[in-house]
Amino acid sequence: MKFPTHRGAALITVLLIVAIATTLAAYIVQQQGHWQRQTENLFAYAQARSIGVAGIDWARAVLADDAVTSTTDHKGEIWTTRLPAVRWRR
């Protein structure tokens, strides 16, 4: 009995299509993870920048108020107090 030779070509074509689809799916999953990490990093950067700017603004306000209210410096003034730790949102 003679088998048609097209069966082998069809099988190879199907395997090639599955391999390409699998490679494409793996690439998309990898890119999605990369984009997610990039978004998380940008969020953390924006949060850190906002906290830094807020700290600088607070320091300017406190030092400007201190310059108006007193002419001497000592350890009991508000600008010498330690700020509480900042909780990071994730």
The string of DSSP letters for 27-90 reads HHHHHHHHHHHHHHHHHHHHHHHHHHHHHHHHHHHHHHHHHHH-SS--TTSGGGSPPPPPPPP-
pLDDT (tens place) for every residue of the chain, 90 residues total: 565 666 678 889 999 999 999 999 999 999 999 999 999 999 999 999 998 999 899 889 998 998 888 888 888 888 888 878 877 666
pTM: 0.60
Provide the residue ranges of all domains of the chain, joining segments of one domain with +: 7-80
Please give the pLDDT value at position 30.
96
